[in-house]
Amino acid sequence: LSFENTQLVPPAARTIVTGNPVRPAIAALSSLPYGPPDGTIRLFVFGGSLGARVLSDVVPQAICALPDALRARVRVVQQCRGEDLQRVRGVYAQAGIDAELWAFFPDIAERLQAAHLVIARAGASTVAEIAAAGRPAVLVPLPGAIDDHQTANADALARAGAAWLMPQPRFTAEALSSHLLSVLTRTSELVRAAKAARAQARPDAADSLADLVEALMTQEARS
């Protein structure tokens, strides 16, 4: 299992929590310290392999609504769908916000390492990567995901104090801007959440899963 409190598992099932495997470059981030913002505040926004329209709609407006002094410190690295790139770039440019936008990030490990706060969907891989990197996050689960699994993923980090869960119906520019104002002006909150995220990390998940499969195959061969 990826999480100890995984739902819909039969009561009698034998389970082992291995975590969700992440790429070696991301697993390596688990040993690096979190450096809280001192000056520039770097936000990393991504919505899975294809991006997410709601993040392109809400995040720029939320950042634009921040007080001038705080907004001037923010640097955004954001994944957008290809059809949204020009529109979102225009919103940031008009507000004078330093923003780097891409439809896809091949270097996600480097982006996570540089981030002070992540805003993202809550797929299993995304949540595992955020935990491995030890980064505080605002998580917006995909509505309608099978068995609402993204909400369960986000809730696992939120309950641990590592993330803030914002269901999409309540993920508005006003709500996000208010939340950003609260956490970005309290460095201690970011540090606390980063520490909690790292406590949820299982950077050796791939090795644990491989060892488990090998053990089961050996057991099967002997039976």
3-state secondary structure of 7: coil
- Give the model's confidence band at 1: pLDDT under 50 very low, under 70 low, under 90 confident, else very high: very low
CB-CB contact of 172 with 71 (8 Å): no
Domain residue ranges in the chain: 39-203
Q: Exposed, middle or buried: residue 186 (CB in 10 Å: 0-12, 13-18, 19+)?
A: exposed
Distances (CA, A) of 92 to 55, 65, 86, 87, 137: 13, 11, 10, 9, 21
- The CATH H-level superfamily of 39-203 is Glycogen Phosphorylase B; (3.40.50.2000)
pLDDT tens by residue, 58-111 = 999 999 999 999 999 999 999 999 999 999 999 999 999 999 999 998 899 999
pLDDT tens by residue, 111-170 = 999 999 999 999 999 999 999 999 999 999 999 888 899 999 999 999 999 999 999 999
Which residue's structure tokens are 């995304």? 126
pTM greater than 0.85 (yes/no): yes
3-state secondary structure of 153: helix
CB-CB contact of 205 with 20 (8 Å): yes
